[in-house]
Amino acid sequence: MKQNWFYRKSSIKKLWIGTIIVLALTVIAEFFVHLHPHFDIESYFAFHAVYGFLACIAMVLFAKLLGYLIKRKDDYYDV
């Protein structure tokens, strides 16, 4: 059976390129839109992009570490 478009190596590469272009556009757009920063920290260039990215990395890493402590096999309560 022919592999679905979504799972082909070539199309995954295309998807990545498209994604990166869109991401870059949202940052470049900052040159053309005035952002009305309220807090000082907001006035750094691409603050929301960097903050969103770093916050997510931090949360995933924290979850991973916490996982070592609190993860159990899913029949933990059944036995």
Partner 1 sequence: MMCSLLHPGLILILAGLLIPLCKGKLRTAVVLAVPLCALAVVWNLDLTTSCSTSYLGFELQLLRLDALSLLFITVFAITVFTGSLYCCLQANSRELSAAFIYAGGAMAVVLAGDLITLFIFWELMALSSTLVLWSASNESSRRAGMRYILIHLLGGVVLMAGITAYLNQTGSIALTAMQPDSIGTVLILCGFLLNAGAPPLTAWLADAYPEASFSGMVFLSAFTTKTAVYVLMRGFPGTEILIAIGVFMIFYGIIYALLENDMRRILAYSIVNQVGFMICGIGIGTEMALNGAAAHAFTHIVYKALLLMSAGSVLYMTGKRKCTDLGGLIHSMPVTAVCGIIGALAISSFPLTSGFVSKSMITQSAVDQHILWVWLALQAASAGVFLHAGIKFPWFVFFQKDSGLRPEDPPLNMQLGMILFAFVCLFLGVFPNVLYAMLPYQVDYVPYTAAHTLTQLQLLLFSGLAFFVMLPLMKRTLTISLDFDWFYRKLIPQLVKWLEQLLSIVSQWLMPIQNKLMTVSLLQNASVSNRTLAFNLCLVMFLFVITLIYYLLV
* Chain residues that interact with partner 1, rule: CB under 8 A: 4, 6-7, 19, 22-23, 26-27, 29-30, 33-36, 38-39, 41, 46, 48-53, 55-57, 59-64, 66-67, 70-74, 76-77
**Taking the complex as a whole, how short is the minimal distance between the CB of residue 42 and partner 1, in angstroms?**
8
Cβ-proximal residues to 44 (8 Å cutoff; 6+ apart), any chain: 50
**Taking the complex as a whole, how short is the minimal distance between the CB of residue 75 and partner 1, in angstroms?**
9
Token digits for 22? Answer: 């869109």
**Taking the complex as a whole, how short is the minimal distance between the CB of residue 60 and partner 1, in angstroms?**
5
Closest to partner 1 by CB, 10 vs 41, is 41
Question: In whole angstroms, what is the distance from residue 43 CA to residue 25 CA?
Answer: 18
Q: Which residue has the tokens 């295309």?
A: 14
Question: In whole angstroms, what is the distance from residue 57 CA to residue 53 CA?
Answer: 6
